[in-house]
Structure 1
């Protein structure tokens, strides 16, 4: 299994739509919004957390555990969502 990490920014409802789409991919065992665990540690503004400007929408960190043969599909679904949902996705090695 490969761990795909991404930062997704935009409207929270649209981000949820992408997360739901990722969970619907056959063979994907785990999709998690990891921000819920660390939100207590973060400030309310973006000045020290390296996030987009606070007025630009939400930023959510998502981890997807996928079989190697599904990694490209997960990335393609996320990239397609950037166009369809008007959100931004950044693939990262670590958060």
Structure 2
């Protein structure tokens, strides 16, 4: 069973739209937004702390998708790519298991 990991750079509404679309694809067994476990390199003592470009950037959403087979996984990739283009957001698939 292929497990896809997707990183969406966009608003909460954009990520929700992609997740809702994924859940509507026949055969998809599991779609979940997972926590971002990577530590961010900004700290209170940094010379760039509090700069506007650090606060107003797009949110990053990590999404995990389980598909029953490679054919459905391919459909997931194609569908996400099309919607991301329409929403003008960045969608990036990570390594697969």
In structure 1, what is the equivalent of residue 48 of structure 2?
A: none
TM-score normalised according to structure 1 size: 0.77
TM superposition shift of 1:55: 2.1
- How many pairs does the alignment contain? 84
- What is the rounded CA distance, in whole Å, between the counterparts of 1:28 and 1:18 in structure 2? 13
In structure 2, what is the equivalent of residue 5 of structure 1?
A: 5
Higher percent of residues as helix: 1
- Indicate the RMSD between aligned Cα atoms, in angstroms: 2.0
TM-score normalised according to structure 2 size: 0.76
SS at match of 1:56: coil
In structure 1, what is the equivalent of residue 49 of structure 2?
A: none
CA contact (8 A) 1:29 1:66 kept: yes
Q: Which runs of 5+ in 2 are unaligned?
A: 43-53
In structure 2, what is the equivalent of residue 72 of structure 1?
A: 74
Q: How does 1:10-25 map to 2 (within 5 A)?
A: 10-25=10-25
TM superposition shift of 1:54: 4.3
Q: Which runs of 5+ in 1 are unaligned?
A: none
CA contact (8 A) 1:34 1:61 kept: yes
In structure 2, what is the equivalent of residue 28 of structure 1?
A: 28
